[in-house]
Amino acid sequence: MNAPFSKIPNASPDPIFAIAQKAREAGPEAIDASVGVIIDDEGKPVVLESIRLAAALYAESLSKSDFNYPPLSGIPGYLDAITNLVLGNSDEPYARIATTGGTGANATNLRLIKALGYENIILPTPTWANHHQLINGSGLCVTEVNYLIDETPSIDAIISALNSDQPSAIYLQAGCHNPTGLDLSEDDWNKLAEALTDSPHCVLLDFAYQGFGKGIEEDAKPIQILKNASIPTLISWSASKNHCLYGLRTGAAFAITNNSDDIPMINRHYSMISRQLYSAAPTSGQLIVEILHNKFADQWRMELDELRSILRSRRESLKSKLPDDFQQSLDGHGLYARLPLSEEQILELQKRNVFMTMDGRINIAGVPTGRIGELGEKINSVI
């Protein structure tokens, strides 16, 4: 009998979701510091009040909706609202498209990179595990370089990997680095912009955590630096964390080019890529974000500021409970830190119902404030 499915090659489970599954199976005792979701003090995903208000208006509008297909590029009012967040308030045109979350934005931009003729991605590691999978899926080659030198982010290894005979796309995270939480400095971004000026290279910027570093505008600083230096840059943005809209799969891809004549053709490529992947991105999240920025933007900004300070205090609190050799690993921003734990210690922590990825990455936002002390004690018990 012909049984093609039995010959299918082995596929590993996603490394982050596999740990989250173990945490779910462990029940309410579990401290789940795996998937990047922001959890409140009752152990539930945070839902922003401004999003609830926008979602209620969206729900009302559904009784009159014709449920027609959206434009392939997405809902214009949504794209205008987030263009302001990502690129500042201006009438300049940008190539852009709505995507299925930040993952869809990354997949779209990688396909655009390929269409632009790049073959090679310079990938500073460690990085978000899915970057490797996304690059594999796009058929591009990878050159891995060290993101950290002496446990501190450095642009130097990245710049030394550049070779003008081989145009490359440099895959960077704008901030709140996943998995380390440790970000490049403003000087690093300026140094990179200088190194890339008049070069054949471009930047692929993953921007999944706008607002969780220093602030909404402050976190977009790397984009301003690259744009002002006319460095071709593709941005992959996500509403999953800063609007707490994970399941609605809401994101966007942007291209910054210094030649505005290129914009219509890039937009055509964006639409074609979207059409090949899933036609158009889903609209519910886009419409909710559009309503939010028309009606509840100030409230959203306040709530995001508050979330940022909650994450900061959870980080400080955990830091205060751990010994000296853990301090530097918790110096960063955003949701993540990569603790200096061995695989044996991480497995030992699983037996004590603490779940993190096998590289020692913890999502601090996933641990309710009231359980940070318990997390600290359990980590201390295995080191």
- Which residues of this chain interact with ligand PLP, rule CB under 6 A? 36, 101-103, 106, 128, 173, 178, 206, 208, 238, 240, 246, 251
Q: How far is the CB of 149 from ligand PLP (least distance, A)?
A: 21
Tokens of 50: 């401004």
Nearest distance in Å: CB 190, ligand PLP: 22
Cβ 246 to ligand PLP shortest distance, Å: 6
We find the least distance from the C-beta atom of residue 127 to ligand PLP, in angstroms, to be 7
Residue type, 44: K
Instruction: Report which residue type is found at 41.
Output: D
Considering the complex, state which of residue 36 and residue 376 has its C-beta at the smaller distance from ligand PLP: 36
Nearest CB to ligand PLP, comparing residues 183 and 322 = 183
Answer whether 327's CB lies under 8 Å from 319's CB: yes
CB of 241 to ligand PLP, least distance (A): 7
Instruction: Please say which residue, 173 or 233, places its beta carbon nearer to ligand PLP.
Output: 173
Give the C-alpha separation, 207 to 79, whole Å. Answer: 15
Give the shortest CB-222-to-ligand PLP separation in angstroms.
14
Token pair listed for 155: 């642009």
Q: What distances in angstroms separate CA 372 from CA 55, 201, 244, 362, one per listed residue?
A: 32, 43, 21, 12
**Identity of the residue, 101 or 232, whose beta carbon is nearer to ligand PLP in the bound complex:** 101
Q: Please report the DSSP string for 212-277 in residue order.
A: SSS-HHHHTHHHHHHHHTT--EEEEEESTTTTT-GGG-EEEEEEE-S-GGGHHHHHHHHHHHHHHH
**Distance (Å) of CA 355 to CA 53, 230, 366, 369:** 34, 43, 10, 16
Residue placing its CB nearer to ligand PLP in the complex, 20 or 349: 20
Quote the least distance from Cβ 363 to ligand PLP, whole Å.
Answer: 9
Q: How far is the CB of 364 from ligand PLP (least distance, A)?
A: 14
Nearer residue to ligand PLP within complex by CB, 39 or 322: 39
Q: Enter the tokens of residue 288.
A: 């909710």
Query: Rounded distance, CA 66 to CA 150, Å?
Result: 57
Question: Which residue number, 366 or 376, has a Cβ lying nearer to ligand PLP?
Answer: 366
CA–CA separation, 290 vs 89, rounded Å? 15
82 vs 322, beta carbon nearer ligand PLP: 82
Instruction: Identify the burial level of 201 via C-beta atoms within 10 angstroms of its C-beta, where 0-12 means exposed, 13-18 middle and 19 or more buried.
Output: buried
